[in-house]
Structure 1
Amino acid sequence: MQRVMNSTCRKLLATIAGAALLQGLPTLAAPKEPVAVDRIVAVVNNAVITEHELNARIDQVLRQLARQNTQAPPRRILERQILERMITEQSLLQRAEETNIRIDGAQVDRAIGRIAQQNGMDLATFRAAVEKDGTDFEAFREQIRTEIAIARLREREVDNRITVTEAEIDNLLANPALKDRQQNEYLLAHILITTPEGASPDRLQALKAKADKALAELKAGADFAQISAAYSNAQNALEGGQLGWRNEGQLPSLYVAAAKALKPGQVSDVLRSPNGFHIVKLVDLRGKDAALVIRQTHARHILIKTNEVVSDQDAKNRLTQLKERIDNGQDFAALAKLHSDDLSAAKGGDLGWLNPGDTVPQFERVMDSLKPGEVSEPIQSPFGWHLIQVLERRDQDVTQERKRLDARRAIRERKSDEAFDGWVRQIRDSAYVEIRLDQ
């Protein structure tokens, strides 16, 4: 994104240009052919979105829709949809910068390497495939950098603040509909037409009419993915609004009630929530009765908490020194007993066997990247700074424990999704946005 030129610079350049013209400098003579200017289509706080950037993203989405055999909405509607997504992205990126989230090239390279591996390609082959699809690889890298930054921002601002109590799990498991919840999973797609905070009655009526029009087109046989791309404000609108397979506990109660009344292939009426107007499609339904085997990790750690006396840099430096001592042969458990601020210090930092989701995302992500016996570099979490060592891993059949584990995950995912949607809307609404698409 180009930065907005401040008024002082503009005035200075205008003065210089004017003086040069008065002096008749030949280098400033009018060119024989017009030069194309990359005009600004939106201003987001102190950054701009240019027409070139918008058109590049539109071309990318059109290729994606073509691969999905989904008819693209009219160009004007698609422009508005994608520009709004880019405005939201830019608002979130600026928030990430304000909170010192920085994604370096090595992190981007690792992410691209994982994507290539998941597609069964080496990096060179994957790059060739991206460029063959018509996407500039450097632009692809920047998009991955953006996605990582927003994911880190979500972890810090939303996910890490989500708590699930034992009482919430008990209440979910005590629900009479538990049998269906555990045995069935729903594949849903949705359309969301958001309502701004403090919207007037006339504005709400206009948005409801928009939702009704989308529903009417669906009832007349229009493709759901096409209508999603044309009408929805959801982050996954251009992916057909697909929510993936989710059990009942992972879905908002509004969607659960709608899904239960539908047969696969059917769509709901227009639903109302504090976020806006919704249309839900039940794509498919399946049973869930297979055994659950999960990868458990036995790990230990040393935690240094920060406070008024111990800064982040102090904590990191202490752990760096401890890691050097461990690398030189000193015992991890003995050092944990002496230096760790966690309750596990008495047990040499031993955390026992950990299931996925037992620790905060920053901790789990680093722990999952370690081999047995390997010690991490100092890493930061909401609790302070850690050294992590993985002792061993095992695949454990936890079929008998799956109900409680599923309930915890379902509650966390639902609360996180709901909190994230509201939080994104607040960030977007609080940004200064000037749309110049029609100028």
Structure 2
Amino acid sequence: MNKRFASPLFAGFLAAGLLLSSVHAQDKQPIDRIAAVVDEDVILKTELDRAVANILSQYAGRSEQLPPRDVLERQVLERLILLKIQVAQAQGTGVRVTDQEVDQAIGSIAQSNKLSIDQLRQQLARDGSSYTDFRTSIRDELLVQRLRQRFAQTRVSVSDAEIDAALKAQANTGTQYHLAHILIALPEGATPEQIATAQKKVDGVKTLIAKGEMDFNAAAVRYSDSPNALEGGDLGWRSLDEIPAAFGEMMKSMKAGEVTDPIRGPSGFQLLKLVEVRDASQSGPQMVTQYHARHVLVRINDTTTEAQAKAKAETLRARIAGGAKFEDVVKESSEDLGTQGKGGDLGWFTQDEFGPEFGGAVAALADNEVSQPIHTTAGYHIVQRLGTRQSDVADQSKRAQVQETIGRRKLEEEWNRFLREKRGEAYVDFRVGKAADASQPGTETTVPAKPAGG
């Protein structure tokens, strides 16, 4: 796998191969084909080729696990189509990402790889990628993240009753299951013939795995229709409350390494593999240090640059040092509307609750001490630490964890359903591959390739 730029943000679009490439040929501007039309946008053939090349580099030495080239191109093209749909949906519903936020994300990627921004530019150029396209990819990734967050806030809720029920079910077990899956998808309103074809395919895949002719990960890469197919179908670690009840009962009776028989679900037929099992139960008190603090926030946005925000925060800090009441400065100047009416009071929190920069700065203060400006992704903060305490958060932590896992499961189900709906509604015109051959035999559309730059 290409790990040149290792960061959680970058890994998302690197795995999907979303870096674009530009090719130069002496004095002639090259011609770039259209791979697919997606509503009012297009995916260029160079985008698809670059994405496929990234996948091939990840599987260097293991290329036999990959499907045939035409199938791989279809899988990657579908990922690119979904990305276009999500970005368009985000923009159409008012989701915005500022230039400063893109700069901060790129700065984090460069820093995590021990590079300056100039060095990052140079590395991209050596890899044949333009910095402008790199920024676009980062912006798209941030837009999709924001869209998903907004979706979660409006579509996903977890009640106290659900948390209580999950805690009761977990009372005698802390078992977690590492799962992987293969999905043979069915369209909405599938015909009997489509269902029969999918059933035959999933049975054939199960037979290959059962006979040892192909391991599960390789079968997922080659045959699964799931978005995580190219990751071997890996679903990660899940507790019982993160697994649909019908599947959870199966997991209890399975051993590590076993694969279920085909299961019919809302998306199609699935094969589930139990990779590993572990005991994640916690007993006894869970003592942590908590801090009580209040803050003034100066945000960085389209109208306030980082330098301006820092200068304003330094002025506010000087006012407090000169005798101004902290709560008065909060009321007049803080841009955190959630705490402004409470004098900036953040309540009790753990060091990692508001991010490493904020938490580290608070931990370094003495009680009643006022900090210098603290830079975080939200902007610049002036913080006064009011006190510390040791607290047993075992019950609180467990409840919060259960709420998060239930919410994550619900979000995954709702988000996948949402993406299927949007994919079904989108106008998609394939210009390469078998789908294009079937609908437009002998045709080929070209457009001028974008020049490298940035």
| TM-score > 0.5, shorter chain as reference | yes
**Could you tell me whether the CA contact under 8 Å between 2:313 and 2:382 is conserved in 1?**
no
Shift of the 104–91 alpha-carbon distance from structure 1 to 2, 3 Å rule, reads: same
Please state how far the C-alpha of 1:130 moved relative to its aligned partner. Answer: 6.6
Secondary structure of the structure 1 residue equivalent to 2:404: helix
Please state how far the C-alpha of 1:53 moved relative to its aligned partner. Answer: 1.4
* Aligned residue type for 2:238: R
**Could you tell me whether the CA contact under 8 Å between 1:249 and 1:411 is conserved in 2?**
yes
Aligned length: 378
Q: Which residue of structure 2 lines up, in the alignment, with residue 428 of structure 1?
A: 423
Shift of the 129–406 alpha-carbon distance from structure 1 to 2, 3 Å rule, reads: farther
Gaps of 5+ in 1: 1-33, 304-311, 314-318, 359-363, 380-385
Trace 1:70-149 onto structure 2 (pairs within 5 A): 71-115=65-109, 117-118=111-112, 121-123=114-116, 127=120, 136=129, 138=131, 139-149=133-143
* Aligned residue type for 2:225: N
Q: Deviations over 1:191-248 (max 9, x none)?
A: 2233332333332333333322322222232122222222223222211121222222
Secondary structure of the structure 1 residue equivalent to 2:59: helix
- Greater shift, 83-92 or 186-195, is seen at 186-195
Q: Is the aligned partner of 1:57 residue 2:48?
A: no
Q: Which residue of structure 2 lines up, in the alignment, with residue 286 of structure 1?
A: 278
Shift of the 125–387 alpha-carbon distance from structure 1 to 2, 3 Å rule, reads: closer
Q: Is the aligned partner of 1:202 residue 2:197?
A: no
Trace 1:7-86 onto structure 2 (pairs within 5 A): 37-66=31-60, 71-86=65-80
Please state how far the C-alpha of 1:62 moved relative to its aligned partner. Answer: 1.0
Secondary structure of the structure 2 residue equivalent to 1:171: helix
Q: Which residue of structure 2 lines up, in the alignment, with residue 413 of structure 1?
A: 408
Q: Deviations over 1:250-294 (max 9, x none)?
A: 333344233223211221122222232222111111222467677
Across the aligned residues of Structure 1 and Structure 2, the Cα RMSD in angstroms comes to 4.3
Separation (CA, whole Å) in 1 of partners of 2:183 and 2:253: 19
Q: Which residue of structure 1 lines up, in the alignment, with residue 255 of structure 2?
A: 263
Please state how far the C-alpha of 1:132 moved relative to its aligned partner. Answer: 11
Secondary structure of the structure 2 residue equivalent to 1:164: coil
* Aligned residue type for 2:159: T
Shift of the 348–102 alpha-carbon distance from structure 1 to 2, 3 Å rule, reads: closer
Shift of the 261–294 alpha-carbon distance from structure 1 to 2, 3 Å rule, reads: farther
Separation (CA, whole Å) in 2 of partners of 1:129 and 1:236: 31
Separation (CA, whole Å) in 2 of partners of 1:388 and 1:163: 31
Q: Which residue of structure 1 lines up, in the alignment, with residue 327 of structure 2?
A: 333
Secondary structure of the structure 2 residue equivalent to 1:66: coil
**Could you tell me whether the CA contact under 8 Å between 1:103 and 1:145 is conserved in 2?**
yes
Q: Is the aligned partner of 1:178 residue 2:167?
A: no
* Aligned residue type for 2:222: A
Q: Deviations over 1:36-88 (max 9, x none)?
A: 74222211000111222111111111111227777211111111111111111
Q: Which residue of structure 2 lines up, in the alignment, with residue 249 of structure 1?
A: 241
Separation (CA, whole Å) in 2 of partners of 1:274 and 1:297: 46
Separation (CA, whole Å) in 2 of partners of 1:130 and 1:209: 47
Q: Which residue of structure 1 lines up, in the alignment, with residue 207 of structure 2?
A: 216
Shift of the 269–130 alpha-carbon distance from structure 1 to 2, 3 Å rule, reads: farther
Separation (CA, whole Å) in 1 of partners of 2:33 and 2:346: 56
Please state how far the C-alpha of 1:101 moved relative to its aligned partner. Answer: 3.0
* Aligned residue type for 2:182: I
Shift of the 280–198 alpha-carbon distance from structure 1 to 2, 3 Å rule, reads: same
Separation (CA, whole Å) in 2 of partners of 1:135 and 1:54: 15
**Could you tell me whether the CA contact under 8 Å between 1:332 and 1:348 is conserved in 2?**
yes
Q: Which residue of structure 1 lines up, in the alignment, with residue 148 of structure 2?
A: 154
Q: Deviations over 1:129-166 (max 9, x none)?
A: 97699573635554333322211110112245422222
* Aligned residue type for 2:38: V
Please state how far the C-alpha of 1:334 moved relative to its aligned partner. Answer: 3.1
Please state how far the C-alpha of 1:415 moved relative to its aligned partner. Answer: 1.5
Q: Which residue of structure 2 lines up, in the alignment, with residue 7 of structure 1?
A: none
* Aligned residue type for 1:407: V
Separation (CA, whole Å) in 2 of partners of 1:268 and 1:400: 35
Separation (CA, whole Å) in 2 of partners of 1:357 and 1:51: 44
- Greater shift, 429-438 or 106-115, is seen at 106-115
* Aligned residue type for 2:197: A
- Greater shift, 125-134 or 53-62, is seen at 125-134
Please state how far the C-alpha of 1:435 moved relative to its aligned partner. Answer: 1.7
Separation (CA, whole Å) in 2 of partners of 1:165 and 1:296: 26
Q: Deviations over 1:104-133 (max 9, x none)?
A: 4543443344345556x3347984997699
Secondary structure of the structure 1 residue equivalent to 2:65: coil
Secondary structure of the structure 2 residue equivalent to 1:73: coil
Separation (CA, whole Å) in 1 of partners of 2:29 and 2:338: 67
What percent identity do the matched residue pairs reach?
Answer: 35
**Could you tell me whether the CA contact under 8 Å between 1:70 and 1:225 is conserved in 2?**
no
Q: In the alignment, which of 177, 188, 201 is matched to residue 179 of structure 2?
A: 188
* Aligned residue type for 1:239: E
Separation (CA, whole Å) in 1 of partners of 2:232 and 2:35: 26
Separation (CA, whole Å) in 2 of partners of 1:253 and 1:62: 37
Shift of the 371–60 alpha-carbon distance from structure 1 to 2, 3 Å rule, reads: same
Separation (CA, whole Å) in 2 of partners of 1:254 and 1:118: 42
Secondary structure of the structure 2 residue equivalent to 1:190: strand
Point out which structure has higher relative CO (alpha carbons under 8 A, 6+ apart).
2
